[in-house]
Structures are given as C-alpha cells and as structure tokens.
Amino acid sequence: MQHTLKSDVVFVGTGLHSGKAVRMVVKPASADYGIWFRRTDWDAGDTMIAARWDKVVPSRLCTLVENASGARVSTIEHIMAALAGCGIHNALIEIDGPEVPILDGSARPFVAGLLAKGFRPQSVPVRAIRVLQTIEVVEGEAVARLEPSEMLEIDFSIDFADAAIGHQEKSLNMSNGAFVRELCDSRTFCRQADVDAMRANGLALGGNLENAVVFEGDQVLSPGGLRHADEPVRHKMLDALGDLALAGGPILGRYVGHRAGHAMTNRLLRALFARPDAWEIVECGAPTGRKLPGVGVLRSDIPVHC
C-alpha cells in the first residue's frame, strides 16, 4: 500500500549553487497525491510544481522542475531519492526559495528526518511502472538504459582520469532498504578545477569541503576523506534513483548507467513514456510490494560512521 509521513519534517540550509538560505517543509499528503513542490515565496502565478519527468527543464549539474508560470525548484534529486528510498509515495514539499538545501551533500539528512517522523500507511495500492522492453539513450560514451526486471535494480559505472576516482562500478538490488544502507550517505563530488570553473560562472556559491567531496589528482581534499572507497559511483546511483523517482511511481526494471547524468536519465524516461508498448502500470500486491525500495527500512539502517 501507499505511504505518507505521519507529520511535517523541516529542513533548513543553503542552496549548493545559489548559496542562499532556504527553509523546506515536507508534509503528509493524501493517497494518489504524488510528490509536489510549492514555492511559498512565489507571487507571480501558480506556486505548485509537480515532481514529474515532464516538468524537468534543462539545467547544468542538477535536476530542475518548472511549471507554466515559471516557478521552479532545482537540485531536487537528493530529496527525491530519500523519498523513493524510504518508500514515501505522497508528500507536499513547501520551500521558500528556488533551490533545495544541499545539507551535507548526500541524502542522509533527508532520510534521517523522514525516518524520525515515521510513515503512515494509506489504504490504496502502490501503482508501479513495469518496464516491458529495453529502452536506451546514448550520448558519446555515456549510456543510460532501462531493461525488464521484477524489481528496481541499479547498475552504474564511471570513469575519471583523476587517480583518486578512476574506474568504479557497482550494482544493487534496491529492495528492502538497500538505498538507506548502501547509498544515502554518499555525497556529491567534483574536481577542484570544476569548482573553480563553476564559481567563475556564478555557480556552486554554497559549496564547500563539508557538503561535497572534492578531488584533485590522486588527493581527496575534503576533511575526513571518503565515506566509502567507491563513494562517487554510489552517489551517481543515489542521483539516478532520485531522477527515476520522477517517473510518477516506482519503477520495476533494471537501470544501467555508464557515465550518465541527470539529463540522460530524464531523456531515458521521456524515451520510455514515448513508447506505450515498452511499459505498463501494475498494482503491487504483496509479493511485488515487498520488493519495492523502502519496504521494511529502519532508522538503524542509516549509516552511522559519518
């Protein structure tokens, strides 16, 4: 069955790119509501923005949704991953600025806040999107693909010239709280040269060594080093889950990404939904429902080393 929160969860922080303080409140919502953002500071028209694949607009380095009135919210991927990974299907997210707070650069603070409040079951079945045929998008060496599977699986690989990153790959079955245990604490990452370039262009104004893992050659510049030896590829998987959550329901399929990013995952969803024969909506009974991300997750599953 579907789930929502028992009560409001408040998050306060700064935006990664804007550097501006923002207050965000995740609220319970009724069954079949889905996930919506509401800009509480927006006074130029409609304040409501659906967290959905067809509301994504091109943006550098993050996922951004926008409505017809021009109201937008960016860097939504980490809170979307937290909601999906905790099995929250319905929520209203009120925010007083255009960018979700970056917090520590991972989804762990969001997960901790959601799990601390607890979830309320709703007497409506979960409707999942079952992948029936393989769909793939390719851009140079980057690939994003969805394949049929009985549950959500994520298989990701990355390649960087920097010795501290190099080649990394990881595969996970996302059922039974795997996201919380394995991925939620992995932080966004970049190279020092990227930081310098972004700041020269007015981006990453809220970024620092505490909310991103910064690499330079064979060195990790962030204090305390890595939370996982393969933290970069884990974060890429975190991002992928957040972007896939914009499908409008849990996906039953295997996502394969190689050097893929936010834009490619959105292109993949658009390609999937453009092919009515490649997917179907299914109501999740007990056997399938037990395989969904978030089912059975506990607060004790949150990594405690960070």
pTM: 0.95
Segments of the chain assigned to CATH 3.30.1700.10: 127-301
Percentage, residues of the chain above pLDDT 70: 97
| Residue limits of CATH 3.30.230.20 in the chain | 2-122
Check whether 144 has a pLDDT greater than 80.
yes
In this model, does residue 252 exceed pLDDT 80? yes
Query: Known catalytic residues?
Result: 262
The correct answer on CATH 3.30.230.20 for the domain covering 2-122 is yes
Residue 82 has phi, psi (to 5 degrees) of -65, -45
Lowest mean pLDDT among 96-110, 168-182, 207-221, 277-291: 207-221
The CATH classification number of 127-301 equals 3.30.1700.10
When pLDDT is averaged across residues 103-113 and rounded to a whole number, the result is 96
| 183/214: higher pLDDT | 183
The tens digit of pLDDT for each residue in 12-62 reads: 999 887 888 999 999 999 999 999 999 999 999 999 999 999 999 988 789
pLDDT at 306 over 50: no
In the predicted model, what is the mean pLDDT of the chain?
93
pLDDT at 302 over 60: yes
Whether the pLDDT of residue 251 is over 90: the answer is: yes
